[in-house]
Amino acid sequence: MKKFVALLLSLLLMLSLVACGQTDDGEDATAAMAPGKYTAEYRGYKDLVKVETEVDADRIVAVKVVDHKETLGMGTRAVEIMPERIVAAQSVAVDAVSGATATSMAILAAVRDALEQAGADLDQFRVEPEPPTPQDVNYDTDIVVIGGGAAGLSAGLEAARSGAEVILVEKMDIVGGNTIRSSGAFNVAGHPIQLEAGKGRTDVEAFIEFTMTGGHNLNDPELVRYMIENSAGVVDWLEEVGFKPVTGETYNAFYVEGYAPGLIVGLEERFLAQGGKILLGTKATEIIMKDGTAAGVICEGPDGGTVTINADAVIIASGGFGANLDMVVELDPSLEGFVTNNSPGATGDGILMAQAVGAAVRDMNEIQIHPTVHVPTATLITEGCRGSGGILVNTSGKRFTDECNYRDVVSAAILEQDQQFAYLIINQEIVDGNANIQGYYEIGVLKKFDTIADLADFVGVEEAVLQETLDTWNSYVAQQHDPEFNSQFSWIRDLSEGPWYSVEIAPGIHHTMGGIEINTKSEVISTQGSPIPGLYACGEVTGGVHGGNRVGGNAILDCLVFGTTAGREAAAYVK
């Protein structure tokens, strides 16, 4: 009997030990990892992202991105933020960095791979992190800026340079908005740097007419004149704050070094150096009004708590609504089903907040589609491709439009083709002249072809057909005359030499011309027709500058001209 009891106790002890080592579904929950450092690499946005993950027996010790080529200001922020999130949560179920999803997902995949190499039970590291406890926070400042794109950052920087205390709120995890996704080009009329390079528009009046015509004369003439008359001054301002503006490939475009990412990162660094404060992951939800005057902003913080910012002036620079497809389709039902290349943060929040406090809006149904978007990835293909000599051909291998016409005209021409898409064709010389275009090849959007035969196969036509199209185009360039579509040739080269590159493109939702009504001081105009005290707006959140169609290169110009104006005027107002 004693032996039986002893045996029974031994069996129960064994069962209890087994039970302690099993999960409910019978899997081993205490299996230890092999301590060490493990590497794995997965494709991010531009190229492979190589990640080193260090583990001990039961936890992630460190995560480090050891090699990458991700985009400055977007992917680089995910490289900084994601390792910290993963280690802090001990989980690969953490949120991606908003605005840098591709890089974030590559890092997560590499860490999962490393954990598997170490022998981990991945289920232990897929636990959803505990949400933070919401904390309500209050700030007092001179000026609060809503939005961290080119408009918001330039407004904040100029306000800070003018002596104001400034807080900028950005609902995404990174700054940049739509600007950082752009080519970074902005138009200027008659700056000495352009004129010396032989690429500048010398006639401000002609550029005003060009912009008004492009906008179907729905633009506010005063805003257009103010923007273009102050365009050369933007170049001087950028030089003054430490940038090095350079002329672009096309006749009137400027960039700063590093293109759009260089502009955004540079503005952010200079804003912070001037004492500005940036609150990321902080979504403005309401403009505070006191006695008819803007007095601050109420926001939702990254932890879900309420962030109240009391201020003497508010600058709205939150962008358009091109990523809010419900809003887009409500205003223009013909755009149902179109892809958007906008930042996910471009949802029209600022417009709605402004309307709630009595602001007037205009041109809300004027929504631009960009003619050259790679639909599967929603990648916008810069006009620099066409402005440098690229051509568009349809599925029959034939040109069908002036490639450098206004965006709405080129988009309409593409949509008139049988398949409603086209192929953009450029060559090595064009690729070599523009870092943005090189980036399309790096991410796999742009395809390279060593022969016309291979290029024709990609387009789906006979080699002889495409060769004839290219020969005809090259003859037009030599003559500086296009009898078919009257293209302008002051900056265009031929496509006689390969290798050649191509991408299938179609129109996509790009820019919303409508928004908050402002004057040339960037003051928000009420529905009663007068400025709302203390409330300013700039950039794509506003309406009136671009009318019925935005001219390529005028968006960042708009942001910089009216952004610096808003910052300067708001700073003067609060003094």
Q: Which residues are catalytic?
A: 407
**Can you state the angle between helices 221-229 and 554-574, rounded to 10 degrees?**
90
Q: What angle do CA 488, 491, 497 make, to 5 degrees?
A: 105
For residue 269 the two structure tokens come to 């660094």
- Contact (Cβ atoms closer than 8 angstroms) between residue 234 and residue 563: no
Distance in angstroms (rounded) separating the CA atoms of residues 343 and 361? 22
Separation of alpha carbons 484 and 486, rounded Å: 6
Which of 46, 345, 352, 384 minimizes the C-alpha distance to 178?
Answer: 345
Q: Helices then strands (H, E): number in the chain?
A: 18, 23
Q: Which helix (H) or strand (E) holds 523?
A: strand 523-525
CA distances, 521 to each of 57, 164, 205, 388, 518 (Å): 62, 17, 21, 36, 8
CA distance 263 to 176: 9
Helix axes 150-161, 259-273, angle to 10 degrees: 30
> What single DSSP character describes residue 449?
E
245: helix, coil or strand? strand
Alpha-carbon distance 239 to 257, whole Å? 12
- Burial class from Cβ neighbours inside 10 Å (0-12, 13-18, 19+) for residue 241 reads middle
Ramachandran region, residue 304 (left: φ > 0; alpha: ψ -120 to 50; beta: rest): left
User: For residues 355 and 361, what is the distance between their CA atoms, to the nearest angstrom?
Assistant: 7
Q: Which residues contact 324 (CB under 8 A, 6 or more apart)?
A: 346, 347, 348
d(CA 105, CA 43): 9
